[in-house]
Amino acid sequence: MKKIVSVVGIAAAITLSLSATSANAASCPIKIGGLAPLSAPGAVGGGEAMRDAMMFAERDINAAGGVLGCKIKVVIADTEGLPEKAAGIMEKLITQDGVVAVGGAYHSSVGVASKDISNARKIPTVFAETWNDTITGDKQKYIFRIAPLSSWASGTIWKSALLTPGLKKVAIITENTDYGIPAAEETAKGLASGNVDSTTFGVDIGTQDFSGIIERVKATNPGYIIVLNTGEAGYNFAQQAADAGIGPQDLPFQAGQVALESKAWWENVPDGNMAFVQRIGTPVSLWNAKAIKLNEDYKAKTGKGAIESYALEAYDSIGILAQAMIEAKSTDGDKIVTALENISYDGTLGRIYFPYGTKKDPSADGKGDEWWHQWPDVALTMIQYQKEGQDSTDSPIVWPDAYKSGEAIYVK
């Protein structure tokens, strides 16, 4: 009898231990918020891509055993790409939906407007695709980012543009948002460092008719056009510009990142060949097994030619939060932050880590405050469509030399 009691006692102790571990977690399922623009004027195509990727993350995490003995549930919230809605949406996720962490987000303006809410509520947030430097620049404890800094990413744009033979003038078309305005300023500054003049034309997010802007752009006689608009508006400008004789086949033209959705690009911009497009993430030839598997699943679900970079970011934003909870053995915000600051997460984008935070200030390495809780190894490339109907993942990388797989073609 004593032996049986002893075994029962051990079993009970194990049960109590597991219960204590679960007690550190929220009630099952553990809820993680997922921000994505699913309605206009936001970038709906980008939002749908991020939503699908975050749901794949939920599936894969649960298939691997979940978190702290629980399944996770990603609660998707439609931001509409609007800063005036972002704070309320973040508040709802936390106070009504009961999320213990938040991932995703496409628009910088959403990140800028919502980060103070999650930080004040002590909810760890890993922003997936918000570039504005100020998102991490005020060094908030609960805010992290795996997208590139805008000031850093703009270098991909202006450095590759400066390779254009005989370039003297550039027209920059940008949206009047927390992404577009600083991105245009940083791009213009970089071009000026190469003795290239630029003129910036700002438009409101969601603009559909660019005829007036196009006439003004033509009047400047640019030798290169850079589009910094997000979402489907980028398709409209590109084709309207092509119709007016200043599109990708008329002069060097860098399209917005939405052009990476190749099927939609060719459907909406039949005259889009020769466009340059900035891409985040390592080349397909360097993808790891996790990225390859996700890409195949994503293509099967969506019918697209390949997964977009912002979908990979969205997937990893959920995955890294789940790993942090497991390593923290808790869903407590402070413990998750500690785990994130020490994490080494093998994601679809590569190994993600955060070298700067409470343990080491960015200034220790001569870096600005914007590097706080910032992943420093985001791969940045410029591709060019060089065949009609080509998929973005099959298009040559024309910059930088470290990833280069083909020479740029400069139309005249």
Structural domain spans, the chain:
25-149+291-371, 151-284+380-399
User: Fold identical between 25-149+291-371 and 151-284+380-399?
Assistant: yes
Does residue 5 register a pLDDT over 70?
no
Global pTM?
0.87
Tens-digit pLDDT profile for residues 82-119: 998 999 999 999 999 999 999 999 999 999 999 999 99
Higher pLDDT among residues 393 and 161, named by residue:
161
Does residue 378 register a pLDDT over 80?
yes
How much is the pLDDT for 26? Answer: 52
Tens-digit pLDDT profile for residues 219-240: 999 999 999 988 788 899 999 9
Q: What is the mean pLDDT of residues 367-376?
A: 98
Give the strand pairing for 345-347 and 397-399.
Answer: unpaired
Does residue 193 register a pLDDT over 80?
yes
Instruction: Give the separation between CA 260 and CA 45, rounded to whole angstroms.
Output: 11
Q: What is the mean pLDDT of residues 184-206?
A: 95
Indicate the CATH number for domain 25-149+291-371.
3.40.50.2300
Helix, strand, or coil here: 12? helix
How much is the pLDDT for 203? Answer: 92
CA dihedral 118, 119, 125, 130 (to 10 degrees): 90
How much is the pLDDT for 313? Answer: 97
Does residue 153 register a pLDDT over 80?
yes
Q: Which of 352, 291, 280, 310 is nearest to 52 (CA)?
A: 310
How much is the pLDDT for 352? Answer: 97
Yes or no: is domain 151-284+380-399 CATH 3.40.50.2300? Answer: yes
Residues linked to residue 351 through DSSP beta bridges, in sequence order: 346
Tens-digit pLDDT profile for residues 289-320: 999 999 999 999 999 888 999 999 999 999 99
Does residue 6 register a pLDDT over 50?
no
Ordered alpha helix ranges (H), 194-332? 211-219, 233-243, 262-268, 289-302, 309-328
What residues contact residue 38 under an 8 Å CB cut-off, 6+ apart? 44, 47, 48, 51, 76, 78, 79, 80
How much is the pLDDT for 261? Answer: 87
What residues contact residue 145 under an 8 Å CB cut-off, 6+ apart? 111, 126, 127, 130, 135, 136, 373, 374, 375
